[in-house]
Amino acid sequence: MITCQICGGHGEIRCENCGGTGKVQIIEIETVSDVSSRSETVTCSKCDGARWQLCPRCYGSGEVDGQESPGIFDPEGRDT
């Protein structure tokens, strides 16, 4: 077993949806007669506000079997 290069052995990565903030901004635009917009900050639905997600490479263990390929990473487990 070797250390996962994607998460650095932590088993988690920063949420890609909110950038690790735990919050996302939703902007609604209404076009009735005038263009108006409204924004709202809500909890990130992908990480549920935790700011981190399970690593897609090691699934939280921090280690992977075999050799880490410096090539392209496919989250479905197929190194290319």
Q: What is the pLDDT of residues 26-52, one digit of tens each?
A: 888 877 777 677 889 999 999 999 999
Q: Where are the domains of the chain?
A: 2-64
pLDDT higher than threshold 60 for residue 69? no
For the full predicted model, state whether its pTM sits above 0.85: no
d(CA 74, CA 54): 15
Check residue 46 and report its DSSP letter.
Answer: T
Where are any strands of DSSP class E within the chain? 2-3, 12-14, 23-31, 35-43, 52-54, 63-64
d(CA 69, CA 61): 18
pLDDT higher than threshold 70 for residue 71? no
Give the per-residue pLDDT at 80: 44
